[in-house]
Chains A and B, each alone.
Chain A
Amino acid sequence: MPVNPELTDRAFAPTAPYLVGREKVREFSRAVFATAPMHHDPEAARAAGFSDVVAPPTFPIVIAEATLQQLLAEPDAGIDFSRVVHGDQRFSYTRPIVAGDELTATLRVTSIKSLGGNSMVTSESAMTDASGEHVVTSVSTLVIRGDDS
């Protein structure tokens, strides 16, 4: 089944708010070899001008995961997850994420292309804080391998 081209017109509901916890930031930081003190020590983060520990640059992928599940759960999406490969990824920030942030992500499928039997689905998850201000947008391209590849 090919990827449904009408996904780009679809409106997705915002995800439930994700509360960024200090220990989650520390755990994720350890997993990506992020050893800078501001990721672990609230005092070091405050000295750098932040209210609490700062999440590493790729942390939003934890929150984007919820929007990916929304996309895969669309019954007519035509996306076979066992054939999905992550093609590229980008994070564009307005400000860093800190522990205590409550982030809501809204998914939008921005493009669907076919290339050599594969489909490339680009989507973005725009994340806003509790006051509705933009924090970061995660843009992912998934490559769905065709049946013959």
Chain B
Amino acid sequence: MSLLDGLAVGQVVAERSFPLTRDSLVRYAGASGDFNPIHYRDDVAAAVGLPGVLAHGMLTMGFAVQPVVDWLDARGWVSDYQVRFTRPVVVDPQLGAVVTVVATVAAVDETGARIDLTATVGEQTVLGKAQVRVTPLAG
């Protein structure tokens, strides 16, 4: 069945929670090359007035799209993806943080679909205008 068949605006296609720890941030720093110390040093984060060590915005953007990628299951690919970073994700050294992502169909046309993401920590959203364009793969 084609990716777009039966897809309806408002339909939730994926939902997943991502537990982050400080280990997640160190791993992302190494993989991405972003070694800004506000992402792993409490003293530096405090010195620049932050409420704590923050997850890289690009880490949050990176995993927030994964529920969509898994839902696509090689039937399509992400051809456009954008977010606004509206609120930092503070990662407690012991408790970490949990980011919950919900992916909802926002629009469907002949060549693809737009999936909108919400990403929340507790009651607060951390990404704005998080939009994913998915395009079917031929064959």
Contact = CB atoms under 8 A, between A and B. Distances in A.
Given A32-B59, A33-B18, A86 B81 contact: no
Interface in B73-125: 73-74, 77-85
A48 B80 contact: no
A38 B61 CA distance: 19
A28, A31, A86, A87: residue with the most chain B Cβ atoms closer than 10 Å: A31
A93 B85 contact: no
B1 interface: no
B20 to A, nearest CB: 9
Contacts of B83: 88-90
Interface in B6-38: 18, 24, 27-28, 30-34
A49 B75 CA distance: 11
A36 B82 contact: no
Contacts of A47: 74
A6 B51 CA distance: 35
B58 A36 contact: no
Interface stretch (A9-17, A54-62, A103-111, A125-133): A54-62
A138 to B, nearest CB: 10
A93 B79 contact: yes
Contacts of A89: 57-58, 61, 82-83, 85
Given A35-B66, A38-B74, A49 B82 contact: no
Given A88-B83, A90-B81, A82 B63 contact: no
Interface of B: 18, 24, 27-28, 30-34, 48, 57-59, 61-63, 65-66, 69-70, 73-74, 77-85, 129, 132, 137-139
Interface of A: 27-28, 30-36, 38, 44, 47-49, 54, 56-58, 61-62, 65, 82, 85-93, 96, 139
